[in-house]
């Protein structure tokens, strides 16, 4: 369980670091930066909520776990949809960069796993 918490914190930290760059570029690229920031907020919130729901499912009976997982997923996706629509109508972001921000968690997970696999690969060790 502790390893999962470290992994979740690592993913969220990397997303936060990309937001620091976006905040620094706000004066020059306001629309693009705010689009990225809003997208990563939605993505990180969705990822954290998913991790929280998963922790709550451990140790439950299979039928109760299935019902709770379905409810949790539908609630998360509904909240993410409402968030995205609110951002579209209130902030009017660059849609491409906002979408990339929403995918930031998946992108970071792929990068972390590729780096981890390269570190553990006998052909890439120094």
Q: What is the pLDDT of residue 125?
A: 66
Position 87 in a domain: yes
Q: What is the pLDDT of residue 57?
A: 80
- Which pairs with CB-CB distance under 8 Å and at least 24 residues apart come from 83-90? 83/42, 83/45, 84/42, 87/38, 87/42
Position 93 in a domain: yes
Q: How many domains is the chain partitioned into structurally?
A: 1
For helices 2-24 and 30-57, the axis angle rounded to 10 degrees is: 170
- Give the separation between CA 60 and CA 53, rounded to whole angstroms: 12
Domain of residue 105 covers: 2-120
Position 126 in a domain: no
Which residues of the chain are under the pLDDT cut of 50?
none
Q: What is the pLDDT of residue 70?
A: 87
Position 99 in a domain: yes
Position 83 in a domain: yes
Position 125 in a domain: no
């Amino acid at each position: 369980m502790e390893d999962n918490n470290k992994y979740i914190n690592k993913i969220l930290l990397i997303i936060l670091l990309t937001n620091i760059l976006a905040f620094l570029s706000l004066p020059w690229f306001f629309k693009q930066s705010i689009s990225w920031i809003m997208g990563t907020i939605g993505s990180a919130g969705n990822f954290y909520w998913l991790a929280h729901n998963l922790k709550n499912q451990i140790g439950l009976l299979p039928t109760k776990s299935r019902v709770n997982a379905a409810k949790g997923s539908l609630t998360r996706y509904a909240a993410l949809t409402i968030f995205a629509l609110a951002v579209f109508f209130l902030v009017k972001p660059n849609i491409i960069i906002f979408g990339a921000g929403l995918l930031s968690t998946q992108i970071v997970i792929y990068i972390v796993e590729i780096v981890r696999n390269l570190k553990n690969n006998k052909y890439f060790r120094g």
